[in-house]
Amino acid sequence: MVIPKVVDNWSRVISGLGVMARVTPKPILEQLLTLSLNQLLQAEIKQQRFAFLPKQWVRIEVPDLAFHFSVTLTEQGRLRASLAPQPAAVTMRGNSASLLLMISGKVDPDTLFFRRKLMIKGDTELGLEVKNLLDTIELEGRLPKSLFRFTQATADAIVARPELR
């Protein structure tokens, strides 16, 4: 089956993703991130659940991918991702496996935070708002079914392999 092979080769998968992120032209990667975030979080944007974010940047760091980006809410009410350094009010850092467990709903952000797998540095109040908002997002119905199933199965396999977390 594909999932065990992905998890068995997690470090190689992550290395490959990191290379892809480094060789993809930054404007294309920024646009892809921006479009993906706005599509995935469309309901929360419409409900103005990101109202706390204008004129502030949240930096997301994924050290095992050697990848980071920042996100803000524009005056037009859309999320904007940037790969360029931004004056981040808060930085959230976690490795790829921990972040996958969080977005798949297998582990809540508080558990990752207390296990020191999710670091929050900077404006604590803003970091908590972002963390709490992320905790309420369900991916089912937002991702294509095959991608959702793959994400869930990969997260389940990572849960079974503590050395990856």
Q: What is the pLDDT of residues 55-77, one digit of tens each?
A: 899 999 999 989 999 999 999 99
What pTM does this model have?
Answer: 0.86
Amino acid found at 101 = L
- Tens digits of per-residue pLDDT, 134-160? 888 888 888 889 888 888 888 888 887
Q: Vertex 9, ends 82 and 100: CA angle to 5°?
A: 40
Domain boundaries in the chain?
A: 2-164
Local structure of residue 55 (DSSP, 8 states):
T
> Would you tell me which CATH number, out of the four given (3.20.190.10, 3.30.1050.10, 3.40.30.10, 3.40.50.720), belongs to the domain 2-164?
3.30.1050.10
**Residue 25 near residue 63, CB atoms below 8 Å:** no
